[in-house]
Amino acid sequence: MKSRWAMAVLGDKSIPLEILMVKAVYPGTFDPVTYGHMDLIERGALLFDELIVGVAVNPAKTPVFSPDERVEMIRAQVDGRLDNVRVEFFSGLVVNFARDKKAFTILRGLRTVSDFEYEFQMALTNRAFAADVETLFVMPSLKYSYISSRLIKESVIMGADVSHMLPPEVEKALRKKLGLN
């Protein structure tokens, strides 16, 4: 098990605490998976003994790729490279998915202030449903902080070069799905 040390402040005393970082889920639609997503997956793989990437169905979104395609695209990026990362499809509440997997931490990325507002509201809503599941926010690397799947899809449609935002196989699949090959 991986462990980290933190200092807890109790009254006027600081006490070192060992924090066990056992298992977490990193949920998202990943339509498509970007270098920004991969940055967070790699960070999560360092933080936790096991990271489960949960490819979600979001009824508010209309994905380009099917759930199976999204799972396979991420697996192609992690298999043989990140041995403690699993990729699975799920539907329903992320807190239920986390509990089913016996993971009590949800890993989320924060790029901007607007991300914070959305993610803060989501974390509090998740806490209302499952007080035993904690949300951990991680900042992406600066070079990926502006990347979003939605903007990438729009950019590809308008003819932009997005090779610095997506793994090559993912970019090829996206162009094919959008009829741009």
Cite the active site residues: 37, 61, 111, 149
Measured between alpha carbons, how far is 35 from 108 in angstroms, rounded to an integer?
Answer: 15
Please report, for residues 69, 141, 150, 165, 172, the alpha-carbon distance to residue 178 in angstroms, rounded to integers and kept in the order given. 14, 28, 13, 17, 10
Report which secondary-structure segment, H or E, holds 113: helix 113-129
Measured between alpha carbons, how far is 55 from 88 in angstroms, rounded to an integer?
Answer: 6
Buried b / exposed e along 68-95 (16+ C-beta atoms within 10 A): ebbbbbbbebbeeebeebbbbebeebbb
